[in-house]
Amino acid sequence: MSRTPMALLSPADQERLRSLRRMKAVALGALLFMAVLFVVSFWLESRHPWLGYVRAAAEGGMVGALADWFAVTALFRRPLGLPIPHTAIIPNRKDEIGRTLGEFVETNFLAADVVRDKLSRTALSQRLGEWLRVPAHAERVTAEASTAATAVLHALSDDDVQGLIADLAREHLIEPDWAPTAGGWLQRIVEADAHRSAVDLAVDSIGSWLDSNAAAFQGLISRRLPSWVPRLAHRFVDETAYAEAVKFVRAVQADPRHPARLAIDGYLARLADGLQHDPAMRSRLEGAKTSLFDSPRVGELAAQLWNTAKSGLLTALADPRSGLRVRASQAVAEIGDRLATEPALQARVDGWVTDAAVFLVDRYRHDIASIITDTVEKWDPAETTEKIELMVGRDLQYIRLNGTVVGALAGLAIYAVAHALIPGV
């Protein structure tokens, strides 16, 4: 039956082929048995009239076996190679069968209501959660994800990634005009007095530094005095400068309306206005930004950061005991635990999955079903016949066997009824 060598068939197909051959042998054996029984009974019927019933049964069995052999064979090929009409149905109507099968699947299995009904009765998220909450399963998911991420990182070209980063930076950071946006933000910060905390922090930091670094003022000013000024004056000048600095900082800390604070407020307000409306200031900011990003040092730093991040990721992904892998496994297990125990979350996730599946089926069900049609159309007619016969041929041989039995019973019944109703037969 099979044109494909046994060694090229899958183990499952090899077993199907053996079963098909056994059933063909059984069906043929039943036909031969009926033929032998017919010859013997026909030969001895004149001496033993009761063998007429055996002959009739054998004759009917042969007719039934031959008729069903013809019917089964006609599905797959021409019986005895004869060009009989309406035979070799599967190879001759292969494409039509594929289209019909695709339409059947599309109509009865890929309908939105069928998919929604099936998924609504399936606790998808709960089952997934029960599986993911098991630590071994969470580690398996993490390991598979790590393998995939490692493959992606190895596949990425460093030059391509750096080029992509540079293109994205230029598109989203360099080409846009920063000045108006920065000026607008700064204006809102000043108007809301949100900069006060930053000014307080700066003043407090200066005050703390002065308290801890009085010695730094020794010689800070006096070394610039003429050499003929007495040493005592040098010390007096330095101490006075330090005392005035401390006094100034304390005054700024104590007075919210100190002129220094007001000067800072005025400067920030002017800066915000200039960034939004002064072309010269905006041009200086954009020039500084472009010079910064176009600096070779910045490019080298970006390349170093990518190489360091990539190396670190690869090392962490390869080590099952790394912090990244451990935390990822814990996160997956926690997600599984929530999915398994929180009905509200289950309902949301099931709803998302169902809606997504229904949308995909509704939108692409014809394309999905066309896979069947296109695949069958590409099959060779002989290959199609072989595949289908391997799948259903064994069951069809039972039709031949049943035809033999039913034919024998029918022949016996007809012969008995004829003898009973027609005198002299």
- What is the tens place of the pLDDT at every residue in 322-338? 888 889 999 999 999 99
CA 355 to chain centre: 17
Residues 301 and 411 in one domain: no
- The region that residue 193 occupies, defined by phi over 0 for left and psi between -120 and 50 for alpha, beta otherwise, is left
Q: How many degrees, rounded to 5, is the angle at CA 241 between CA 239 and CA 242?
A: 65
Mean of pLDDT over the chain = 81
Q: Name the domain boundary from 273, 306, 339.
A: 306
Output the CA torsion sign for 83, 88, 89, 92. negative
Q: Which residues form the domain of 391?
A: 6-92+379-421
In a domain, 189, yes or no: yes
Q: Quick one: pLDDT at residue 227?
A: 58
- Among 248, 273, 306, identify where a domain stops: 306
Is 67 part of any domain? yes
288 plus 395 within the same structural domain: no
Counting every residue written for the chain, the total comes to 425
pLDDT at 374: 83
Q: Work out the pLDDT band at 145, boundaries 50, 70, 90.
A: very high
> Would you list the DSSP string of 206-268?
HHHHHHH-GGGGTTTTGGGS-TTS-HHHHHHHHHHHHHHHHHHHHHHHH-TT-HHHHHHHHHH
Choosing from 241, 276, 306, the residue where a domain stops is 306
Q: Which of 63-77, 225-239, 398-412 is the least confident region?
A: 225-239
The answer to pTM > 0.85 is: no
Amino acid identity, position 425: V
Query: Within a domain: residue 50?
Result: yes
Q: Out of 97-111, 193-207, 266-280, 337-351, give the one with best mean pLDDT.
A: 337-351
Residue type, 71: A
Total domains in the chain come to: 2
Q: Exposed, middle or buried by CB within 10 Å (0-12, 13-18, 19+), for 56?
A: buried
> Rounded mean pLDDT of 189-213?
83
Does 228 fall in a domain?
Answer: yes
